[in-house]
Amino acid sequence: MNKQAFEVSTLNYESDRRIIEKIIADIEWGLHDKSELEIGEPSNYFGWKFFTVSLDIPFIVKMAEFYESFKQAKGWTHYEKFESWLNAKLAENGSKAQVKTVAPEEFKGLF
C-alpha cells in the first residue's frame, strides 16, 4: 500500500475539508508535484464529524525532504510529523479540527 490515512475530527466538515484541500494544493504548487489526496465522507457522532484523509506516501516523503516546518514537526516517523504539521496548519487557518494517524491495519479495507 502506498497511501497513509489520517482521521480528522471536526465540528465543521465543509470548512475543514476546504482548508485541507488548500493546504495540500499549496504544497503541490511548491513541490511542483501532484498528490493523490483523497478525502472521505464524514461520519457523525454526537455533533462531531469524523472523516479520513489519505495521501500517497511518496508525496509525504517529498514534503519531509523540502519543508523545514515539516522536518521540525513533532514525531519520529514521517506520518507522525505529517500529523503534527497538519494539525499546526489547520490551527493557523482558524480550524479546531484534530488529525491523528491511522495505523495501517486499521485502514486496510478503506481503499
Question: CA-CA distance, 53 to 45, in Å (whole number)?
Answer: 18
Q: Indicate the DSSP class of residue 14.
A: H
Quick one: pLDDT band at residue 12, thresholds 50, 70, 90?
A: very high
Question: CA-CA distance, 80 to 68, in Å (whole number)?
Answer: 15
Q: Are strands 38-39 and 3-10 parallel, antiparallel or unpaired?
A: unpaired
Give the start-to-end residue ranges of the domains of the chain.
3-110
pLDDT score of 8 more than 60: yes
Spell out the residues 6+ positions from residue 69 whose beta carbon is closer than 8 angstroms to its own. Answer: 85, 88
Question: Given the C-alpha cell 472521505, which residue does it identify?
Answer: 40
Task: From 22, 84, 24, 90, select the one nearest 101 (Cα to Cα).
Answer: 84
Average pLDDT on 82-88 reads: 93
Residues 3-110, CATH architecture? 2-Layer Sandwich (3.30)
Amino acid, res. 42? P
Q: Which three cell numbers stand for residue 1?
A: 500500500
pLDDT at 87 (0 to 100): 94
Condensed to tens digits (0 to 9), the pLDDT of residues 17-76 reads: 999 999 999 999 999 999 999 999 999 988 899 999 999 999 999 998 888 888 888 888
Question: CA-CA distance, 75 to 68, in Å (whole number)?
Answer: 14
Quick one: pLDDT band at residue 104, thresholds 50, 70, 90?
A: low
